[in-house]
Homo-oligomer: A and B are copies of this chain.
Amino acid sequence: MAAPNGALRRATAEGSGRHIECATMSTASFLIALIAIFIAAKVFGEIAERLGQPAVLGELIGGVAIGVSGLRLVDPHDVTIHLLSELGVILLLFVIGLETDLKKLMQVGGSATAVAVIGVALPLAGGFAFGELLGMSRMVSLFLGASLTATSVGITARVLSDLGHLKDDASQIILGAAVVDDIIGLVLLTIVGTLAEGGALTVLGIGRIVLIAFGFVLLAIVIGSQLAPMLIRAIDRIKVARGLLFASIVFALALAYVAQRVGSAIIIGSFAAGLVLARTHRGKDICREVHDVSQFFVPIFFVAVGAAIDFRTINWMGFALAAIGIVGKVLAGFVVWRKGMNRLVVGAGMIPRGEVGLIFAQIGLSTRLLSAELYSAVTVMIMITTFVAPPLLRRLLAQETPGELESGSADIVMDAPADDAGS
């Protein structure tokens, strides 16, 4: 029941090869990584909040401090850290889905889709033009454009939640648009990936990809809405210990798995699971219980994002790409035609880019279409957009409803300090 000490553990691992198959983390370095992640998240998150910034900005900076550009206590590419951070973002989007009113989301569906489409088209065109201007090949230019398309919904959602604005109309548009543009990004990923590997694309093939991507979300919500109440009733009846929590999490993980299997994204699966479960009669209980567990995993995601940032890669093209990406999304925000809405907030909310952009870059690198320099430029673009959005959103939202920040109205995706003091 106890772990062996260092020397013997190594002997065990090398000798029999049963315990650990390859050069991955030992228990000791796993413990160090977790300790570093939690301390960094809490200390820097607290500093950010005291400076009036969203806690997530602090968690990202905390990640930088202990990651590849800092103390190197956490290797964001280690498989266990990677999987735990994936679990973190799955649970984050699950909680955000649980807090989202599907009806309200549908009401802003038109605006959200418009923002998503324009917000994909402008950066795609801008990135493509940038590549052409520098005399790159069509394919390389396409890669650069595509890497600018998908918003990182996780960061934006955390910022809105940290600032207590998750239920605003503008936030609903941002959430909806971020989900739609993630789907478009995945469609682009499949198309560009196929082209990069030298494959041919037919109209029929593209149609199939689009159908699967959007069909999954629709089916998940329609079928899920039928299944979820039955699941909850069954759980209510058999009264397993913590049954509601585990059934909900299994439901979210299962939808995340199916989403990935059919070519959609894990977080779209768990977001859909949240939307569906929120409408059952135990929605509020589920939200509270899942939220308690998610507290543990969500910071791992944001610290890992920060830890992966490598300042040595900074180059001017990264700043140029970031500018194109920011302008494209901000302009897309002006598509919204509702009056009385701060359209800058919508655009600013769409700014952060994340893993989808990185995956484009990695495919480009592995197929030798992108040089190491261009790969770094995409990484820098992601870094800049990630750090620009939180303070910008905070400033725009503070103008809108002055004083709300001080009233401690943060949504419960991450607890406000007051919650803990009261316990």
Give A contacts to B, CB under 8 Å: 1-8, 11-12, 14-16, 18-25, 27-28, 30-32, 34-35, 38-39, 41-42, 45-46, 55, 77-80, 82-84, 86-87, 89, 150-155, 182, 185-186, 189-190, 193, 197, 238-247, 249-250, 253-254, 256-257, 260-261, 263-268, 285, 289, 292-293, 295-296, 354-356, 359, 362-363, 365-367, 414-421, 423
Contacts and interface: CB of A to CB of B under 8 A. Distances in A.
Contacts of A155: 1
Task: Please indicate which of the listed interface residues A12, A14, A265, A367 has the most CB atoms of chain B within 10 Å of its own CB.
Answer: A12
B243 A42 contact: yes
A257 B35 contact: yes
A159 to B, nearest CB: 14
A6 B189 CA distance: 12
Nearest to A90: B31
How many chain copies? 2
A38 B423 contact: no
Contacts of A293: 292-293, 295-296
A421 B238 CA distance: 9
A250 to B, nearest CB: 5
A8 B189 contact: yes
Contact of A416 (B6, B45, B55, B241): B241
A8 B295 contact: no
A368 to B, nearest CB: 9
Contacts of A363: 8, 11-12, 15
A265 to B, nearest CB: 3
B30 A420 contact: no
B35 A268 contact: no
Contacts of A83: 25, 27, 30, 80
Contacts of A238: 46
A292 B89 CA distance: 20
A91 to B, nearest CB: 10
Contacts of A22: 21-24, 79
Contact of A240 (B42, B78, B365): B42
A27 B362 CA distance: 17
A244 to B, nearest CB: 6
Contacts of A245: 295, 420
Contacts of A418: 239
Given A293-B296, A423-B285, A21 B23 contact: yes
Nearest to A414: B241
A153 B250 contact: no
A193 B8 CA distance: 7
B296 A6 contact: no
A356 B420 contact: no
Contacts of A260: 3, 5-6, 27-28, 31
Contact of A359 (B4, B249, B292): B4
B366 A15 contact: yes
Contact of A267 (B2, B15, B55, B246): B2
A238 B417 CA distance: 9
Contact of A6 (B6, B39, B261): B261
A51 to B, nearest CB: 14
B241 A420 contact: yes
Contacts of A46: 238, 240-241
Contact of A239 (B8, B253, B362, B420): B420
Contact of A19 (B41, B77, B186): B77
A285 B421 CA distance: 11
Contacts of A14: 366
A200 to B, nearest CB: 16
A238 B50 CA distance: 11
Contact of A241 (B39, B241, B417): B417
A242 B21 CA distance: 36
A417 B239 contact: yes
A411 to B, nearest CB: 12
